[in-house]
Each structure stands twice: as C-alpha cells, then as structure tokens.
Amino acid sequence: MIDVVISGPWHVGKVLSSAGVLPVDTQTRSNAKLFEHTLHCLENGGVIAVFPEGTSYTLPHHLPFKDGLSWAAYEFLQHQCNSGNTEEVGISIIPAGITYTTKNKWRSDVVVEYGEPIRITARDLQDFQAESKPAVKQLTDRIADGVKQGSINSPDWDTLHAAAQARFIMFGDTRSVRLEDYVQVSQSFIEIFHPSKTQDDPTRAELKLRLLTFYKTLRQLRLSVWDINMYENHTITLRRAVLRLVSTWTALVIQMPLFLPSIMINWPIYLLARMAEHYEEYTESVAQDKLVYSVFLAIPLYGTIVYQFWKYIGYTMIGFLCAIMLIPVLAWYHMALVDKRYDMLKDVVASWRICAALLSSVTGFDAQPRRELEDAVRLRRWCLTNTKLLLLDLAKQGDPHARYLVERGKLVANQK
C-alpha cells in the first residue's frame, strides 16, 4: 500500500483507494487521526510504501526527507504499547533506492536496491517518549542514509553530467552496464569528480571541465558518445560519413517491411506521446503522460481494429474470439520489433547529422559544425586516455571508488 494525501474529485479518491492507496488527513492536529489508516494497515499485517521526500522532482540529489514516516513508525509503536502488546513492540523500515536509467522514457529500465532493514523497538520508543523531535530526526537521517546507499546522488548538475560522460566513454551506454552495477558505477564516478575532490586537484579538475565541454558539444551537435565512436581511430571524412549514412539507411530499409505495419497502426500513439514530451513542463511526468495518453488512445484504436476484423469475417463468435486475440498478438509483435528498429532509426539520423556537418564545411556554407564535430572526437579521445590514467593512479593510492571502476573495467574488457 502507498501512503499519500488524497484530494480532488471524489472519483479520483475512489480509484486511488481501490488501488490500495491510504488516505492521509493533513488538516488534523491529532497524530492519531493523521495516521489512522496507516496504523490500521500495519496492525493487520500490511506493508506500506512511503516516498519520504513528499513530492516528485528532477534534481541531481535527494530532496530533504520529511519526518512523516518517522512519526508514523513511532506512533505505531505507541499504538502497540497502548494495546497491551508489549512483547512484540517493533517495526522494520526497509530503505529502497529507485533509479531510472532514462527518467523521461516510457519503458525505461529501473533499478530498485533495498538497504539493510532499520528495526525500531521498545528501547527506541523510550527515547521518543523522552524527547520526541530529536528521536524523529535521528530516525529520518537513518532512513535517508539507507536510501542514499541504493541510489545516485550528486552535489550538482555539473558533477552528474561529467560523471555520466566518463561512464559513457569508459563503459558504453546504459545497455553496456549491467543494471545491478548501474548505481554503483554511476555513484563511483560522481565521487571521483566530487567538488571536494577536484578543488585541490588541478588534474582532476581539468578532466572534469573537459568532460563537461564534451557533454555540451554533443548537445549542440545533437549526437551521442556512440555516434562519434567510429571516428576514434579514423579521420573524419565526407566519404566515410556518406558510407555510414548509406549503410545505416540500407539496413533500416531492409528491416522496414518487418515493422512498417506496426508503425502504421501505432503512429497516432507515437505522435501523441511526442506532443506530451514536448509540452510537459516536468521531466518526471513525461513517462506517465506518455503512458496515460497511450492507453486512452489505444482503446479506440485497437477497438476499431478488432471491430473491422470481426466485421470482415462475418460477425461470428469464432471471429469475435479471433479478433480479441489479435490485440495481444499485435502488442507483442510491436514490442518485439520496435526497440532495435528505433535504435537503427537513431543511427540513420545521427549519420545524417554528421554528413550535414561535413557537407556544410565542404560547400563553404558553415565550417563551425565540422569544427565542433572534430573537437568532440578529439575531446573523447583525450578524456578516455586521461580518465583511465586518473582511475589507475587513484586506485594505486587506495581510492575505493577508483579500485572498483578499474576492476570493473577489467571485467568489461574480458567480456569483450
């Protein structure tokens, strides 16, 4: 169950309640009334999920945790004691870190890491009864530390972006890092480039600055690290860029008959999802908007397909059953084909952008895109070499984060 404030139209509350969401009365001054439904759920052996920040957000680190979870835990212990159940007074809080690899992407990979359970007992209740606010704050800090251990936290955006580029350059994109390693790899790079580490280390500070420059250059070019990867050991030439464009386009055209029917069926959903991504103000709401809009559009879309198929085969009962079975078949067909072909389409777009950058220089129209592209290739090469040297040097000095990354780099090299 999830403990949240339920407000708004009555039907919204009804939907949320039926989904197992517990209402919280934030207007009352009575803790017993505030946590009434929470205590009832726990008393009956239920499990409650709480998001202690109290809101969704897009920041490089956690918001300060609110104390509501800690108050609820102690109120439950107090409730147990008042009920005469002194032998079994206690409750366990399990910290959980939730990390999305691509937060605004529908069907993004997500990593959930559970920390060590925090057990609150009668002894803790005595501390709470003596001084409630310090006891609550202490418990909130313990919960925050537990969640932090299983999630990615950066002091600022620059450190997060520099760490992400170092991870991309060293280990590849998200799919090249095992999900069970994703959080630790990402957090290790953040610790390497933490402001407290770079302020007295000119070498590390310069590497961080160049990683940020590389990140900004790629954003200007609308390319990714892997789009320029093939030029790591080759000179950027128009001939090579054209050949890459032709090869990626040909591969996509060959695959076109496989997924074109699926695209033709689902293009309204993709269009609406694109609009949702464009107009949604909050990054954390993009994926849920895509999901909601897609579901509402899929009902009439697939309903029409089912009806037309049923009509085509004569409104028979067997035909109706076959038409209904068509929905999961079409969904499976689409999901099985879309990801790889979407990546192929992105390769074509990236190849075209590289070609356009080179053509603008050859034709004398604008040499700036080519210079930026060449700068990005040189920066990637420089950052790769110097990131490796930095990690090896820090590992020799005993830095645990560098040791982990060096060891994992060896494992990746063995897998390749």
Chain segment 85-127, per-residue pLDDT in tens? 666 778 999 999 999 888 777 677 889 999 999 999 888 888 9
* % of the chain residues with pLDDT over 90: 35
For 117, left (φ over 0), alpha (ψ -120 to 50), or beta?
beta
* % of the chain residues with pLDDT over 70: 88
Residue 383 has pLDDT above 70, yes or no: yes
Residue 370 has pLDDT above 90, yes or no: no
Residue 108: partners with Cβ closer than 8 Å, 6 or more residues away:
100, 101, 102, 287
Residue type, 314: G
Give CA–CA dist 414/172, Å, rounded: 15
Give CA–CA dist 218/175, Å, rounded: 19
Chain segment 214-226, per-residue pLDDT in tens? 999 999 999 988 8
Give the pLDDT of residue 28.
Answer: 64
Residue 72 has pLDDT above 50, yes or no: yes
Q: Cα dihedral sign for 22, 24, 30, 35?
A: positive
- What pairs with residue 92 in β-bridges? 119
Residue 172 in tokens = 């590849």
Give the pLDDT of residue 3.
Answer: 47
List of long-range contacts for 299-303, beta carbons under 8 Å, 24+ apart:
301/265, 301/266, 301/268, 301/269, 302/327, 302/330
Give the pLDDT of residue 415.
Answer: 42
Chain segment 122-144, per-residue pLDDT in tens? 888 889 989 999 999 999 999 99
Chain segment 391-402, per-residue pLDDT in tens? 999 999 999 999
Residue 251 has pLDDT above 80, yes or no: yes
Average pLDDT estimate for 178-204: 94
Give the pLDDT of residue 411.
Answer: 43
List of long-range contacts for 24-29, beta carbons under 8 Å, 24+ apart:
none
Residue 197 has pLDDT above 80, yes or no: yes
Confidence of residue 367 (pLDDT cuts 50, 70, 90): confident
First-to-last CA distance in the chain?
A: 43
